[in-house]
């Protein structure tokens, strides 16, 4: 599967409990096809004190499946699919399907 979402991309959750929420991709796990999105799927974990870690109940983002998120189109501010293309210099770039905008 070709992954067209990268770290620090702005994405929208398109299905599931957190549908409609937006956030930045913090981490990608390509082996399990999962992403960690900032502010989405926040869980609480009870943690015991260890060296260099805080103790108590901490909140952190849990991974969600990559099929449940879509990239946010920079022009329309709506979720869009991504296709690959080439710029004028022949370099591979990601292109938003809805608006045709080139993504960085």
Q: What angle do CA 103, 65, 11 make, to 5 degrees?
A: 30
Write down the pTM of the prediction.
Answer: 0.83
Q: Which domain holds residue 30?
A: 10-74
pLDDT per residue over 40-66, tens digit each?
Answer: 999 999 988 887 778 889 899 999 999
Confirm whether 46 is domain-assigned: yes
Closest CA to 70 of 22, 11, 10: 11
Confirm whether 54 is domain-assigned: yes
Confirm whether 91 is domain-assigned: no
pLDDT value, residue 47: 87
Confirm whether 14 is domain-assigned: yes
CATH number for 31: 2.30.30.30
Q: How many domains does the chain have?
A: 1
Confirm whether 90 is domain-assigned: no
Q: What percentage of the chain has pLDDT greater than the value 90?
A: 78
Tokens of residue 72, six digits:
């946010």
Confirm whether 87 is domain-assigned: no
Q: What angle do CA 84, 5, 39 make, to 5 degrees?
A: 155
Q: pLDDT-based confidence at 1, cuts 50/70/90?
A: low
């Amino acid at each position: 599967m070709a992954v067209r979402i990268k770290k620090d991309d702005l994405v929208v959750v398109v299905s599931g409990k957190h549908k409609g929420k937006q956030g930045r991709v913090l981490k990608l796990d390509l082996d399990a096809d999962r992403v960690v999105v900032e502010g989405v799927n926040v869980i609480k974990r009870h943690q015991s004190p260890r060296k260099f870690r805080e103790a108590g109940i901490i909140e952190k983002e849990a991974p969600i499946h990559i099929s449940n998120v879509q990239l946010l189109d920079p022009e329309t501010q709506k979720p869009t699919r991504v296709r690959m293309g080439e710029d004028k210099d022949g370099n591979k770039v990601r292109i938003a399907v809805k608006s045709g905008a080139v993504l960085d």
